[in-house]
């Protein structure tokens, strides 16, 4: 009599015979590429990270009184991210044919999908172990953190990794509250409120798993409300117990993973991979655009004022994908916080953090800029309803140009209040966040007019002593706007920190004028196609 295990073995053999599973040669090539990436990129980056962590300023900050609170905040953000990411790409990732074999047969899903989940879970746990072990080891050498405290941190990271993996699976299984919708929004808001309250009342960290991870940080004895001695390992025990309890729920969660959801994720991943393989990164990213999940009957065009009507229309359009809107707003606020860190830190020049902050602003503001894409699609078409293309761009700029600087400034102001930054530095950080928010929206408008990538970029070959740089040119073509935003943002930040607001405002004004001229030329070239 056949058992589920024997039927699963038969299905896996059929999968290999069909040639859908990676062959030994494929795995060898993948392993070779991974080794090269580790040697070429991983080792230098790891060395740089170790040197940065070992510096006196960074090691002192990592064992400061506020460090456990920030560690708990990072753990809470990680849990939210995994819950939301499960709807897009869950821990059980199968090819389309594997979905047909493993999820649409009589083999129980707790058996058929178990291997895929635990491989992903071990990857998450392994990454967190490496990060925690590296940080703890450096702190042990540079800051004199006891070995036992480092061991507690590593064990806590392993427990947090397992919890994140189960939350990730819950998102893929579409458990209420673990994905797009009001439940996820309320959960994210609850985590944020608890994290902020924990800074004011440290004992509140004891009531949530992300707080337990913060209490396991090597600096846990520095805060009132954190324990030492015998109870120092209690947060680690609580994390591990919770992880063990959640691990018992994995079979039931695997049974609830729908075949339709697996097939949709597999098709989306296959389409994105095919587009990326041809160099069309725009289409690859478009495969993961969220679809509207709510608000179909919301009124969007009832306002009498033209400006108010377009503002309401764009706001309703963005709110129809609430998770994307919340993630984008959080990303803009986080960029504001990073800008304040760039202004207040003495560990590195301000532009080093300002460049990624400006790039994050550009990326996160995309959810507010769908109107720009609509305006660009009208190029060469009759002016519908009497609105020219230039006027459409102006009307669709109302929402992002108003919301992005405000959100970035609010994130910067909140960071100043939480960290107690100096008044002058805090004022500079808030102003920089607002200015870079305006820059990001202008870059978004410029990027929306980009036409299809010329095929000649993929068919041409330019031999050089260091290889063919065509793929570098392709990447620059796709990411020119975000790279430009990061570079100009770093320069503006450097001017603001070193000279003052006058030169920074002049540079921003010149950049905005240049982007508008380039936008005009792009639209003209697109109309001539």
Per the domain annotation, does 280 fall within a domain?
no
Dihedral-angle region of residue 93 (phi above 0 means left; psi in -120 to 50 means alpha; beta otherwise): beta
Per the domain annotation, does 200 fall within a domain?
yes
Per the domain annotation, does 83 fall within a domain?
yes
Q: Are residues 489 and 418 in the same domain?
A: yes
Q: Quick one: pLDDT at residue 342?
A: 85
| 183-209 per-position pLDDT tens digit | 556 666 677 777 777 766 777 888 888
Q: Are residues 326 and 246 in the same domain?
A: no
Using the predicted structure, report yes or no on whether residue 301 has a pLDDT greater than 80: no
Q: Are residues 474 and 359 in the same domain?
A: yes
Q: Compute the distance between CA of residue 52 and CA of residue 347 in angstroms, rounded to an integer.
A: 9
Q: Are 92 and 113 spatial neighbours (Cβ–Cβ below 8 Å)?
A: yes
DSSP string for residues in 145-163: --HHHHHHHHHHHHHHHHH
Structure tokens that stand for 501 in this block: 């607001």
Of 521, 437, 429, 519, the residue nearest 485 (C-alpha): 437
| 458-498 per-position pLDDT tens digit | 666 666 665 566 777 777 788 888 999 999 998 998 888 77
Q: Are residues 467 and 517 in the same domain?
A: yes
> The tokens 């040119």 sit on which residue?
473
| 92-115 per-position pLDDT tens digit | 887 777 776 676 777 778 877 888
Q: Compute the distance between CA of residue 224 and CA of residue 208 in angstroms, rounded to an integer.
A: 17
Q: Are residues 353 and 490 in the same domain?
A: yes
Q: Which residue among 216, 250, 267 closes a domain?
A: 267
Residues ≥6 apart with Cβ < 8 Å to 476: 483
Structure tokens that stand for 29 in this block: 């090539």
Per the domain annotation, does 294 fall within a domain?
no
Q: Are residues 408 and 493 in the same domain?
A: yes
Q: Compute the distance between CA of residue 308 and CA of residue 400 in angstroms, rounded to an integer.
A: 14
Q: Compute the distance between CA of residue 209 and CA of residue 73 in angstroms, rounded to an integer.
A: 11
Using CB atoms within 10 Å of the CB of residue 380, give its burial: 0 to 12 exposed, 13 to 18 middle, 19+ buried: exposed
Q: Quick one: pLDDT at residue 116?
A: 85
| 32-52 per-position pLDDT tens digit | 878 887 887 778 888 877 777
Residues ≥6 apart with Cβ < 8 Å to 144: none
Per the domain annotation, does 469 fall within a domain?
yes
Q: Are residues 381 and 434 in the same domain?
A: yes
Q: Are residues 478 and 337 in the same domain?
A: yes
Phi, psi angles (nearest 5°) of residue 106: -85, 0
Q: Compute the distance between CA of residue 134 and CA of residue 140 in angstroms, rounded to an integer.
A: 10
Q: Compute the distance between CA of residue 147 and CA of residue 248 in angstroms, rounded to an integer.
A: 31
Structural domain containing residue 415: 303-528
Per the domain annotation, does 82 fall within a domain?
yes
Q: What is the pTM of this model?
A: 0.77
Q: Are residues 99 and 199 in the same domain?
A: yes
Residue 125: pLDDT band by 50, 70, 90 thresholds? very high
Q: Quick one: pLDDT at residue 385?
A: 64
Q: Which residue has the higher pLDDT, 24 or 257?
A: 257
Q: Are residues 263 and 307 in the same domain?
A: no
Pure H helices in 63-113: 67-88, 96-102, 109-112
Structure tokens that stand for 338 in this block: 């990073």
Per the domain annotation, does 195 fall within a domain?
yes
Per the domain annotation, does 229 fall within a domain?
yes
Q: Quick one: pLDDT at residue 113?
A: 82
Q: Are residues 357 and 238 in the same domain?
A: no
Of 179, 231, 188, 186, the residue nearest 206 (C-alpha): 231
Residue 295: pLDDT band by 50, 70, 90 thresholds? low
Total domains present in the chain: 2
Q: Compute the distance between CA of residue 53 and CA of residue 38 in angstroms, rounded to an integer.
A: 20
Q: Are residues 140 and 224 in the same domain?
A: yes
Q: Compute the distance between CA of residue 340 and CA of residue 427 in angstroms, rounded to an integer.
A: 9
Q: Which residue among 267, 285, 314 closes a domain?
A: 267
């Amino acid at each position: 009599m056949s058992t589920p295990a024997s039927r699963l073995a038969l299905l896996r053999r059929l999968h290999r015979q069909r040639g859908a599973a990676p062959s030994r040669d494929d795995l060898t090539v993948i392993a070779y590429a991974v080794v090269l990436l580790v040697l070429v990129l991983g080792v230098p980056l790891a060395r740089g990270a170790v040197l940065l962590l070992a510096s006196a300023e960074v090691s002192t900050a990592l064992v400061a009184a506020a460090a456990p609170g920030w560690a708990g905040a990072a753990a809470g953000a990680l849990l939210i991210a995994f819950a939301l990411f499960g709807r897009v790409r869950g821990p059980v990732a199968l090819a389309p044919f594997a979905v047909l074999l493993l999820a649409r047969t009589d083999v129980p899903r707790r058996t058929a999908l178990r291997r895929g989940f635990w491989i992903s879970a071990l990857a998450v746990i392994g990454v967190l172990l490496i990060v925690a072990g590296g940080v703890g080891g450096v702190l042990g050498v540079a800051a004199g953190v006891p070995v036992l405290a480092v061991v507690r941190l590593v064990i806590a990271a392993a427990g947090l990794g397992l919890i994140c993996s189960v939350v990730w699976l819950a998102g893929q299984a579409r458990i209420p509250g673990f994905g797009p919708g009001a439940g996820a929004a309320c959960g994210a808001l609850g985590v944020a409120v608890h994290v902020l309250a924990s800074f004011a009342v440290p004992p509140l960290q004891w009531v949530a798993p992300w707080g337990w991870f913060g209490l396991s940080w090597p600096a846990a004895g520095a805060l009132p409300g954190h324990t030492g001695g015998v109870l120092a390992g209690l947060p680690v025990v609580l994390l591990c117990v919770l992880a063990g309890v959640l691990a018992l729920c994995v079979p039931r969660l695997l049974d609830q993973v729908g075949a339709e959801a697996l097939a949709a994720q597999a098709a989306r991943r296959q389409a994105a991979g095919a587009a990326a393989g041809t160099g069309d990164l725009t289409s690859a990213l478009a495969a993961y655009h969220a679809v509207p999940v709510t608000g179909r009957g919301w009124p969007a065009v009832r306002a009498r004022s033209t400006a108010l009507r377009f503002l309401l229309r764009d706001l309703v359009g963005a709110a129809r994908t609430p998770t994307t809107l919340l993630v984008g707003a959080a990303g803009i606020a986080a960029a504001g916080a990073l800008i304040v860190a760039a202004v207040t830190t003495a560990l590195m020049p301000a532009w080093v953090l300002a460049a990624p902050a400006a790039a994050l602003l550009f990326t996160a503001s995309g959810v507010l800029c769908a109107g720009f894409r609509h305006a660009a699609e009208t190029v060469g078409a009759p002016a519908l309803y009497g609105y020219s293309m230039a006027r459409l761009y102006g009307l669709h700029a109302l929402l992002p140009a108003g919301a992005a600087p405000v959100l970035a400034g609010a994130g910067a102001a909140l960071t100043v209040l939480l960290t107690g930054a100096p008044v002058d530095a805090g004022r500079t950080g808030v102003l920089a966040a607002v200015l870079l928010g305006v820059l990001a929206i202008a870059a978004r408008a410029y990027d929306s007019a980009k036409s299809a990538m010329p095929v000649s970029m993929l068919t041409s070959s330019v031999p050089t002593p260091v290889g063919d740089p065509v793929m570098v040119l392709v990447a620059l073509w796709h990411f020119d706007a975000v790279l430009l935003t990061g570079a100009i943002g770093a320069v503006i930040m450097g001017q603001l920190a070193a000279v003052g607001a006058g030169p920074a405002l002049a540079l921003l004004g010149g950049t905005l004028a240049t982007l508008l001229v380039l936008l005009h030329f792009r639209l003209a070239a697109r109309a001539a196609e």
